Amino acid sequence: MPGRSLPSLYAVRAFEAAARHLSMTHAASELHVTPGAVSRLVRRLEADLSAVLFIRRATGLELTPVGRTMAEGAREALDRVAEAATGVRLRHHRRLAIGVYSHFLSRVLLPLLPRLRAVHPDLDVDVHASTSPLDLLPGRFDAAIVVAGARKQMGLVMRPLMPITTVPVAAPRRLKDGPIDFARVTLLHTRARPEDWRRWLDHAGLGAIPVRGGSTFDGVSLALEAAAADLGLAIAIEGLLGPDLAAGRLAIAHPARRPTHRNFVLQYDARLAEDPSLAIFADWLCEQLHRSPEPYSRPA
């Protein structure tokens, strides 16, 4: 197949910009070169084509009939190159590093990731779990799933994923004998959130019940395992209970739900807001959770 006989693509790009603006100066500003450089490239293209593309008047540039035809063809060709380049960028995603609160990862994100792989097979995501907020600081990852309030933070994009509402949970067999007597039941605690029971009891109108005794655990996952083993009742974030409720390991022990002013959010540097890979991941995750706040069905 014979090679294409093409004029200089630098010259074509300079000419197309000058034709759009009808100004060498404005074309130079767009292309980040000098007006003289644009003028030289346009003259080179005219020489290659053996045609006059512009009439240079004192009031500005005017396209000749040949120039108009060339401008239309150049614009269409450059648009197609730009579209193709965009498609290539979207198909070749970079690998993302996502920091995430461990309990959110196990209860929500891990079960969702196969869906992401199905719809975006070229998007690779590495997850880095931690129970410590200090490990999920901005800048350590492309994005992090953290607990945050409604207050905006300078330089960060904060996309809400799930409100934090707390409920008491117990092994299902505890509920077979009727309502729980919270004054007599063992309460299980997590070291990072020692006030959860006090706050929930006050919200539920059970403020006269003292919070005493009960085992204490490093993280909520262990507290929930202890509750499932019927060692007592635990406080849980309702939106993260899907797998435990669906499997029948736990049941909500009281209808009172205590809302908070905090949410799980996807947080990332504002400078990455236009990153194609991160934008796809962020939009997909928000769509999954907003469409189905609890991505697991409860047993009937």
Provide the pLDDT for residue 296: 34
Judge whether 138 and 267 are in contact, CB under 8 Å: yes
Cα–Cα–Cα angle for 20, 22, 27, rounded to 5 degrees: 70
pLDDT tens, residue order, the chain (300 aa): 456 778 888 899 999 999 999 999 999 999 888 999 999 999 999 999 999 999 988 888 999 999 999 999 999 998 888 777 665 554 456 789 999 999 999 999 999 999 999 988 888 999 999 888 788 877 789 999 999 887 777 889 999 999 999 999 999 999 998 899 999 999 999 988 899 999 999 999 999 999 988 899 988 899 999 999 999 999 999 999 988 999 999 999 999 999 999 999 999 999 888 889 999 999 999 999 886 444 333 332
Instruction: With H, G, I as helix, E, B as strand and everything else as coil, classify residue 131.
Output: coil
Whole-angstrom distance, CA of residue 134 vs CA of residue 140? 10
User: What confidence score (pLDDT) does residue 291 get?
Assistant: 65
- pTM confidence score: 0.62
As assigned by CATH, the class of the 165-260 domain is: alpha beta
Q: Which CATH architecture has domain 9-91?
A: Orthogonal Bundle (1.10)
User: Hey, do 96-163+262-291 and 165-260 end up sharing a CATH topology, with the first three levels equal?
Assistant: yes
For residues 224-235, one letter each, b for 16 or more C-beta atoms within 10 angstroms of the residue's C-beta and e for the rest, the string is: bbbbbeeebbbb
Distance from C-alpha of 23 to C-alpha of 258, rounded to nearest angstrom:
64
Residue 79, pLDDT score: 86
Best CA proximity match to 35, nearest among 45, 23, 46? 23
Q: Where are the domains of the chain?
A: 9-91, 96-163+262-291, 165-260
CA distances from 260 to 50, 147, 170, 198, 199 (A): 73, 11, 21, 14, 10
Q: What is the pLDDT of residue 35?
A: 92
Residue 297: per-residue pLDDT: 31
Are 104 and 131 a contacting pair, CB within 8 Å?
A: no
Characterize the bridge pairing of strands 96-101 and 125-130. Answer: parallel
Question: Looking at the domain covering 96-163+262-291, what would its CATH class be?
Answer: alpha beta
